[in-house]
């Protein structure tokens, strides 16, 4: 899957602001609720077991979407003040992030190869690696395709 953890929202010569998009979680939640509604009240599906299985799948889909809607992840890089700030965690109490850009070990460029039946993709990832953070923050992923002869 090609998706960064946070997306670039605002950029100028003073700051860069990255944030997670919780709206995607709401869309997943609504789709899951629609699946639950359709299979619970539909007369098309006569099998009770099928209703339960698809309703449970829709409930899981809605639950994951609800969690994604409550997740907050923001990162603001103040380029003039050489600091970063933000928050990470579930609403209503995400953990505050603050520190100096001196804690930034570097910008990490990595790649991985993904294959399908007809093509091979190279996925390039750009991340910020901070000294005291357990993993780097993915800010961009890009996919390049090469057709298999």
d(CA 68, CA 91): 10
d(CA 35, CA 29): 10
Band of pLDDT at residue 147, cut at 50, 70 and 90: low
Residue from 108, 102, 115 nearest 145 by CA: 115
CA-based end-to-end distance of the chain: 24
Please report, rounded to a whole number, the percentage of residues in the chain having pLDDT higher than 90: 54
Q: Is the separation of the CB atoms in 75 and 86 below 8 Å?
A: yes
pLDDT of residue 145: 61
Alpha-carbon torsion angle 11, 14, 20, 22, nearest 10: -80
Q: What is the pTM of this model?
A: 0.76
pLDDT of residue 9: 93
d(CA 104, CA 128): 7
Q: Is 145 left (phi over 0), alpha (psi -120 to 50) or beta?
A: beta
Mean pLDDT along residues 92-102:
92
Mean pLDDT along residues 98-103:
93
pLDDT of residue 133: 84
Mean pLDDT along residues 36-47:
78
Looking at residue 35, the DSSP 8-state letter turns out to be H
Q: Is the separation of the CB atoms in 43 and 86 below 8 Å?
A: no
Is the pLDDT at 144 greater than 90, yes or no?
no
DSSP-based three-state secondary structure for 38 = helix
pLDDT of residue 50: 80
Poorest-pLDDT segment among 37-41, 82-86, 123-127? 37-41
pLDDT of residue 26: 93
- 99 compared with 120, residue with greater pLDDT: 99
């Amino acid at each position: 899957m090609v998706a960064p953890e946070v997306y670039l929202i605002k950029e100028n010569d003073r700051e860069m602001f990255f944030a997670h998009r919780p709206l995607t979680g709401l869309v997943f939640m609504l789709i899951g609720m629609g699946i639950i509604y359709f299979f619970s009240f539909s007369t098309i599906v006569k099998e009770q077991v099928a209703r339960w299985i698809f309703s449970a799948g829709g409930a899981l889909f809605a639950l994951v979407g609800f969690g994604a809607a409550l997740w907050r992840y923001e990162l603001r890089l103040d380029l003039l003040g050489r600091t970063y700030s933000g928050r990470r965690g579930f609403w209503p109490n995400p953990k505050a992030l603050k520190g100096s850009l001196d804690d930034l070990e570097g910008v990490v460029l990595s790649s991985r190869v993904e294959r399908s039946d007809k093509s091979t993709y190279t996925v390039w990832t750009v991340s910020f690696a901070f000294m005291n953070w357990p993993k780097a923050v993915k800010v961009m992923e890009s996919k390049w395709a090469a057709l298999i002869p």
